[in-house]
Amino acid sequence: MRLLLKVNPGLEDVALEECAWEARCNPIEVRSGRGRIIVEAEGDLEWVYSRASSMRSLHAAILLLASARVPKTRDALEEIYRIALSSRVTSYIPDGSNFAVESVRIGEGHEYTSMDLSRMVGQAVVDAARSSGKSIGVRLNSPTVVVYSEVDEDLFSMGILLTGERSLHRRGYRVYDHPAALKPSIAYSMLRLARARDGDTVMDPMCGGGTVAIEAAMLLENSRILCIDKNPYYIKGAIENALAARVYNRIRFMTGDSTRLEELVDPDSVNVVVSNPPYGIRMGDPRMVRRVYKGLARGLAYALTPGGRAAIITTESGYMEKVTRSEGLRLAHARKVRHGDLWASILLLEKPG
């Protein structure tokens, strides 16, 4: 069966690797930078559903039933209706049950809205059910089945949403919401990009609500995990999240300054650092950003083991690269990722062995 996977834009390769490991998926198409992957998955629908729901880099998995190029003019709506009508969508909606349509329109210049898309797909589903003798209804709240449709520029896709209306990146453990929280799917992906292995000492020196530490605790069973922040209120929130995630006992929480790591950890003692330091847009004063980043760079050079790795997400990539290079760290890789409403960079840094 073919699946349309929704992931964080810029991290498609990480999601594809996880899908290959967890659900025996083979790539068909990767839309780099757009957060969309089409794969062929082995196994029956129930098995694929259970595996997809547990993957930590995914936002959603859709059983793909139809895909076609359509124009951006309103003429596309009639074509979309015909495509949806001829799909096998009603075979996945039980007789006597109900459905809703979730629609997304991506790009500019369309002469129709996502609401127009939902209306046409919904009508096609109702008409297809009627012609097959099925009795199904429309229910917007808690429907039995969610039919998903999207137009990404000129590509229309539709299918059955397997993983629920709530995006998988919204982890249930987030009881405290840090004002600049990192998406858990990005935190997980950064741990993968930094090649965090079981048994490593993993640190987030600006942990905020503890997302990186919690994702590390869920990924790595036998690792020492350090969650540090200078704000005791954030540490309290991180502890609340870790308790909700049931990994509190796996994490060491410390109140301390990331620019003075020599007061908190031993030299050459941390294998992997993953962190989301504040950006200029969040701190307000660019001079403050520079002081923080200089101190963080010194701390990374001090704390990382020879051959140790750091994954840092920031919009201040040029300056971060400059100050880490001055501390002897090497830039191994850089990529753009979508972080909320911004395009940020993930920098992968290495301390020479």
- Residue 17 sits in a domain whose CATH number is 3.30.2130.30
Same domain, 43 and 155: yes
Among 106, 130, 161, which residue terminates a domain? 161
Same domain, 128 and 221: no
Domain count within the chain: 2
Look at 25 and 285; give whichever has higher pLDDT: 25
Instruction: Give yes or no for residue 283 having a pLDDT over 70.
Output: no
Instruction: Give yes or no for residue 281 having a pLDDT over 70.
Output: no
Instruction: Give yes or no for residue 246 having a pLDDT over 90.
Output: yes
State the burial class of residue 338 (Cβ atoms within 10 Å of its Cβ: 0-12, 13-18, 19+).
middle
Same domain, 76 and 114: yes
**pLDDT for res 46:** 85
The owner of tokens 């397997």 is 162
Does 221 reside within a domain? yes
CB atoms within 10 A of CB 162: 20
Same domain, 219 and 270: yes
Same domain, 197 and 295: yes
**pLDDT for res 207:** 96
Q: Which of 241, 303, 245 is nearest to 274 (CA)?
A: 303
Does 171 reside within a domain? no
Same domain, 100 and 156: yes
Same domain, 208 and 273: yes
Task: Return the half-sphere exposure (C-beta side, CA atoms, 13 A cut-off) of residue 189.
Answer: 30
Q: Per-residue pLDDT tens for 168-222? A: 888 889 999 888 889 999 999 999 999 999 999 999 999 999 999 999 999 999 9
Same domain, 226 and 102: no
Instruction: Give yes or no for residue 278 having a pLDDT over 60.
Output: yes
Query: Which helix (H) or strand (E) element contains residue 321?
Result: helix 317-326
Q: Per-residue pLDDT tens for 194-208? A: 999 999 999 999 999
CB atoms within 10 A of CB 31: 16
Mean pLDDT score, 38-56: 86
Share of the chain above pLDDT 90, in %: 82
Same domain, 103 and 234: no
Q: Which of 348, 285, 297, 287 is nearest to 322 (CA)?
A: 297
Q: Strand ranges (DSSP E) for 209-320?
A: 224-229, 251-255, 270-275, 304-314
Among 161, 192, 210, which residue terminates a domain? 161
**pLDDT for res 310:** 98
Can you give the residue range of the structural domain that contains 269?
A: 184-350
Does 243 reside within a domain? yes
The pLDDT confidence band at residue 343, using thresholds 50, 70 and 90, is: very high
Task: Report the alpha-carbon distance of residue 200 to residue 307 in Å, rounded.
Answer: 12
Does 172 reside within a domain? no
Same domain, 122 and 26: yes
* pTM tops 0.75, yes or no: yes
Does 168 reside within a domain? no
Average confidence score pLDDT of the chain: 93
**pLDDT for res 52:** 84
Among 109, 126, 161, which residue terminates a domain? 161
The pLDDT confidence band at residue 58, using thresholds 50, 70 and 90, is: very high
Does 179 reside within a domain? no
Does 148 reside within a domain? yes
Same domain, 136 and 248: no
**pLDDT for res 280:** 57
**pLDDT for res 284:** 56
CB atoms within 10 A of CB 226: 25
**pLDDT for res 102:** 96
Instruction: Give yes or no for residue 264 having a pLDDT over 80.
Output: yes
The pLDDT confidence band at residue 42, using thresholds 50, 70 and 90, is: confident
**pLDDT for res 282:** 53
Does 170 reside within a domain? no
- Yes or no: say if 329 and 302 are a contact pair by the CB < 8 Å rule: no
CATH number at residue 229: 3.40.50.150
Same domain, 291 and 217: yes
Mean pLDDT score, 17-26: 88
